[in-house]
Structure 1
Amino acid sequence: MPLTKRRLQLLGQLVELYQRTSLPIHYETLARSLGVSKWTAYDMLKEIEKLGFVTRSYEVNSKETGRSQVVFSPTVKASDLFKQNRSDSINQADWEQTRVHIHNLLKSVKNGNVNDLIRNMMNEIPSKASSIEFCGYILGLLLVYVKKLGGKTETLIRLVVSKTPNSENGTLMFVGTVLGTIIQTINDELGNEFTELVSEFLRTMDQLSSQDRRLLSVMLHEALA
C-alpha cells in the first residue's frame, strides 16, 4: 500500500502540528487544516497507521463528559521521513526559475482566492530543497499577504523598506513588520504557522552567503516597486 501524495500531505501536517504542540492530534484538526471531511482524514490516518507512520491513542473528550476520542501521533519513522537538510547552494538558472514562479504567484493575487494561494504556498514550502529557495518562498508568502492587506498598510510597508539604508536590513525589517501585522489580523493557528516559518527563515538567512542575501533583497525590492 503506497504512501500517496495526499497521505503524505496529511502525514506532514500531522508531524508539523505534533512538533509544535508535543500533543497527539485529533483527526478533525487535520481535516480542517487540509479542507477535507473528518471521516476522510480518519480513514487516511488508518491507512497511514498500517504503514507504521502513526500510532493512535485515546484521551478524554473535554466536550463530552465520560467519552474518549481517538488521537494520533507520528512515529519516529514519520519524523525521520520529514527531516530535511537544505542545500546551501543553488545555480543561477534554478534561482531564476524560482524567482519568476514567485513573481507569477504575486501577479495572480488579483485574480484568485488569496487565502487559498497562501495555504498552497505554505504547503509547497517544505519541498524547497535549497536555503535560498526556502527564504525566497517565505518572502513570497509575506508579499502575498501584504498585497492581500492592500491600502495604507501596503503603502506603509513599502515606504519602510524603501527608507532602510541597508538592503539586508530592509529585508529583515520587511519580515518583522509583516509578521507583526499578521499576528494581529489572522487566527491563532495560522499565525503560529507563520511565526514558525519566519523563525526558520531568520535562522536560514543567518547562514546564507552575502550574494544569496543580495539576490533575496533584489527580489523583494522588485516585488515592492
Structure 2
Amino acid sequence: MKITKRQKAFVEKMLDIYKEIQEPIHYSTVAEQLNLSKYTAYDMLRLLEEKGYVESVYETHSEGPGRASVSFKPTKKAEETFRKLAGAEATSWEEAKERIITKIAAGEFEDAKLAEDILLQVEGGLDDVLYCSNLISDLVTRLRARGRHRMMDYYASVILALIEKKNAGDLYLLPGFMLGLASSEDDAVELTDGFLKKIRKYEILLERMDKEARSHLGDMLSKIIAPLRNE
C-alpha cells in the first residue's frame, strides 16, 4: 500500500493521540487534532470500533436531560496491535511510529482494508469530486474503446435523470453499472479486479461528500454522460 506524505503525517498524529490518551476522548477533539470534519472523525472512529480497536463510552451531563455525549477509548486489541507493529526493538517513540507506518505500507497490518479505508479519509475537498468524476470518465473511455458506448444510448437518459437528482444512493450505482457494460467475457475478471478498489474509494468519498460537493459531482458527471446519447 502506497502511503502519501499527507497520510504518513496523519498516521503519526493518530499515534500521538493514542499515546496521549489517558481517558475517553470525544470525537470532536479527534477531529480538531487530525484536521478533519467532525463527521469524518466520527465515521473513522466507528470503523475502528467495528473492528474492535476502540470502544464507545456514553456520558450524560449532570446539568440536565439531553443526548448522551459519545467518546472513544482504545481497547486491549489496539494495545496488542500497537506493540506487535512497533516491535520490541524500537528505542524511541519516533522509531516506533516509523516502524508502524512501514509495516502498514508493507501490508503487515492484519486488517489492511481497514487501514486503507481510514487513509482514504485523509484526502478531501475538490480532490474527492475530481477522483469520482475521473473514474466515471475512465469507464466511458473503456466503453468507447470496446465499441460499447452505443449501448449507453439506451441507458443514458435514465442515468442522467438519476444524476440530476444528485442523491448519494443513485450516484452509488453508477460506477458498478458502467463497469458491467464495459466488461466482456474475455476480460471481466481482470477488469473487475482492477476497478473494485477504485469503486470502493469512490463509494467512501461519495459517502462523506456534503450536498454542495455532490451537486458539483452531479454537474460534472452529466457533462461526461450526456454526449453518449448522440453517439
Pairwise TM-score range, normalised by the shorter structure:
0.3 to 0.5
Using structure 2 for the length normalisation, give the TM-score: 0.40
Give the number of the structure whose alpha-carbon radius of gyration is greater.
Answer: 2
